[in-house]
Structure 1
């Protein structure tokens, strides 16, 4: 978790901030360490592995995507995810400081619409970073020419969205 993936800084992202963000799941979760406006590491791992990461986070800022209720019946997966959210929060050295982030707020913040889809969120994130890598999407880049988002995949994109949103919110609250 010390790998420097970011080679550039997101233009509209406040600097000098480090946050651990998690997109929780029933067995595996996406996570992202966002530091000084760039992805320092990210991945998708078993929840027990992420729980160990949280225990070692030493009380630093943390944000977790929270489940929302839309008035419809939910299944076992939703309850298992909520259980993991609680475990992640309690594992943090300062549980009361963990920011729970709702997906609709992330969509509105990054895309300007609560109806945005995952692809729209991913593109909004890509557009925030400099085009320093190789390939068709230089913000992501290639193995030979990695961009600042190289290695971010799958649920780690959602974790990055949570990290960017939480970082921006912290900056607004501090102003």
Structure 2
């Protein structure tokens, strides 16, 4: 049973890393699930502190993933229309059958939202859309780093307890 939990946990780690780039999958929570499965084996002793801290980080990063692009839009001078455009663009970009729609959607959504707010100021709309794109890249990088740290922790714990596997 330990080998099955270990393999499913490793698969969760890999899916979590993919989820850090694909907004459809919540990367850090899936990676955390892989850690939980590892701690569920008999070979690795349960550590509630590690699980609690990593769960808190996974939830925090999952929430920040939605907040950072909107804050990037606001930081670069965007209005509420630009923030709403970013969020709507992200959702439409996810379901649109175009390549990289999850990257293009927030950018175009912020741009269109700002144009709706003030159609004469295209420079401001472009600046706001750039803020949205930078926020998206920052949140993606943050998720990737967290998932890689979780993978490192997973490998370390599995490796140090390898005589039992």
TM-score grouping bracket, smaller chain normalisation: under 0.3
Higher radius of gyration, 1 or 2: 2
Which has more helix, going by share of residues?
Answer: 2
The answer to which structure has the higher strand fraction is 1
TM-score (norm 2): 0.25
